[in-house]
Amino acid sequence: MHFHLEIIMPPTDDVSAAIDTILAPFSENQEPDADGYTSPHTFWDWYVIGGRMAGTKETCTYPAEKLEEFYKQLKKNKITISSVICGKQEIEPADQIPLVDKLWSAAFPTEDGTIIACPLFSHSNNQYSSDDLISCDICRVDEIPAALKCSRVIIAAPNYEDKLAADYMICEDQWNGVVHMPIDWDRKPQSAVDNHQERVARCAAEYKEKHTIKPNWICVTVDYHS
């Protein structure tokens, strides 16, 4: 299954490389070490920045009534959508895409009036590549939408070797093979930030300085498979 992860970290010139570094210890594809050990804390076998979660930061801010009206317009114009879902739903046949984008841009106009690809469907981005990003998939921490929810949050910071690494992680309720283990979290990245900041505030000054999230830190949307 695919899950929605938000990674919060200091600003960097190479986001993809930073994400690779942060997620490496949690790969299900690890080779055993010399003692035959592999980490029991892995949770992904594939990931991509954005992916089928691309645009979520933006679309979660749209009023429900406007989205409902947009879908009514799709139905009115007899737009057909693929019933086989692999990531985002697909407009089929593809010659309907210009009309869908026109309807979307009418419902949610841009400042300059340009028509954009509707972010709800697969033609808006390449869900298998980090090279085709929707601009809001990477935002500043102080720009995280209040309504945004996800399956997991990782907050990364320099570790004791001054290398970027996961410093805090929280996820939604987990199935342990017998029952669901409840997690006291509302699935909002902002709540994860608040929890982390409260924890770090009790630490020594040097650690606190490195690990306290600043407004210019970034929040990156990641689609991972497990």
Contact 91, 183 (CB under 8 A): no
Domain residue ranges of the chain, discontinuous segments joined by +: 2-54+130-225, 61-124
When mean pLDDT is compared across 105-109, 133-137, 175-179, the lowest value belongs to: 133-137
* DSSP code at position 77: T
Q: Which of 8-12, 118-122, 159-163 has the highest mean pLDDT?
A: 8-12
Q: What is the pTM of this model?
A: 0.87
pLDDT of residue 86: 58
Q: Are the beta carbons of 168 and 196 closer than 8 angstroms?
A: yes
Cβ(193)–Cβ(155) under 8 Å?
A: yes
What pLDDT was estimated at residue 101?
Answer: 95
**Cα(217)–Cα(215) distance, integer angstroms:** 6
